[in-house]
Amino acid sequence: ARGQDLRYNMQITLEEAYEGKKAQIHVPSSVTCDTCSGSGATPGSQPVNCTTCGGNGRVRAAQGFFSIERTCPACHGRGQVIENPCSDCHGQGRVQKERTLAVTIPPGVEEGTRIRLSGEGEAGMRGGPAGDLYIFLSIEPHKLFERDGTELFCDVPVSLTTAALGGEMEVPTVGGGKVKVKVPEGTQTGKQFRVRGKGMPGLHARRHGDLYIQIHVETPVGLTKAQKDLLKQFDEASSEKTNPESAGFFDKVKEFFNDTPE
C-alpha cells in the first residue's frame, strides 16, 4: 500500500521570500526497514500465501440466496501473511526515523505557498511506494513592510517641517539598499509615493512589483516654551492659503449651520 502524504509547516522571513532560500529540514516519518528491505519478513524468509483466501485477498460469504465478497480478515486484503516477522519492524516493513531533507524555496513565494517533494512522505507498507511531502510556507510579519501579492507598502513618518517645506528622505528596501524619495512642499498625511520595481518578485514571472511609501506627518511633542511661542506666531501669521483644507472645512461647517432650520 502507498504511504501517507506528510505535511511540514515552515516559517520564513520576508527577505527570504524575496531572495529565495536553500534550507535543510528535519522530518520524522516512517521509512523502509533496512533489515527486511520492506518485506516485513525475517531476512531469509518470505511472506506466504494466505490460507484463508488462497492468496486472493478476498473471501466470499453466503447470506441466504446471496454471496457477498469481502476483504479477507486474516491477511487484510494483502493475499499474503508473514509467518516470521522482522524483529526490527515487527512485520510492518517500515520503521520510524528522522530524515534530513534539502529544500529549495524559490523567490516570490507567498503566505500558504505549497512545495511538493515527491516520494518523501511516509514509506509504503511492505515495500509499497512512498507518499509525498508537502511543505506549507508562512511569512513572518515584517517590522516595516506590508505585502499584497507583489506589492509592498511602507508607512513612513516625516517631520512637520519636512512636510511643510519639502525635502528628501531615504527608505530601505527588502532587497537591500535604500531609495531616495523627494517630499514635495506641502505634503499631507496619507500622501503616497510609488517606487517602481522595488516590490516583491513574482513567483512565476520575472517582473517585480512596486513599493508604495505612505507619508505620516508627525506632530511634534514635548515642545519647549520657545518652540510653542514660535508655533503660535506661525499660527497667527497663517491664512486660508496656508491651511486650505482647514479653511474649507470650517466654511462647510458654517454652511451646515446656516442651512439648518431653527
- Per-residue pLDDT tens digits for 26-65: 999 888 888 988 888 999 888 889 999 988 989 988 777 7
pTM: 0.72
In the chain, where the domains are located: 6-47+82-139, 142-219, 224-262
Residue bearing the bigger pLDDT, 38 or 154:
154
pLDDT value at residue 221: 85
Q: Measured between alpha carbons, how far is 96 from 27 in angstroms, rounded to an integer?
A: 10
With a cut of 80, say whether residue 250 has pLDDT above it. no
Q: Which CATH superfamily is domain 6-47+82-139 in?
A: Urease metallochaperone UreE, N-terminal domain (2.60.260.20)
- 223-233: pLDDT as tens digits: 899 988 888 88
Cα 39 to Cα 44, 86, 220: the distances in Å are 11, 8, 76
DSSP state of 127: G
| CB-CB contact of 115 with 132 (8 Å) | no
Q: Are strands 211-218 and 151-159 parallel, antiparallel or unpaired?
A: parallel
Mean local confidence (pLDDT), 163-179: 92
Identity of the residue numbered 153: F
- CA-closest candidate to residue 52, choices 91, 90, 81: 81
| Class of the domain covering 142-219 | mainly beta
With a cut of 50, say whether residue 23 has pLDDT above it. yes
Domains 6-47+82-139 and 142-219 share a fold: yes
Q: Measured between alpha carbons, how far is 196 from 212 in angstroms, rounded to an integer?
A: 9
